[in-house]
Amino acid sequence: VGADSAPLAVTVTPAGATDKEVTFSSSDETKATVNDKGVVHGVAAGNAVITATLKSDNTITATRNVTVA
């Protein structure tokens, strides 16, 4: 991710899961932010970890490392 935006793709499994809503967060919003749709926006050079968390069970998460150049 540069000074632009990029969407994250999230797949909740199993396919028949009734709750597929997730929330997103950034470990360092001075480097990268993420909106409620999973679109990451680079803010400044550096690294951040974007976390997607299942709304109905906050123990279920997935992470993605992003680098802003």
Instruction: State pLDDT tens for residues 20-59.
Output: 899 999 999 999 999 999 999 999 999 999 999 999 999 9
Q: Report pTM.
A: 0.87
Chain center to CA of 67: 13
pLDDT single digits (tens) 31-41 = 999 999 999 99
Q: What is the pLDDT of residue 55?
A: 93
**Contact of 3 with 42, CB cutoff 8 Å:** yes
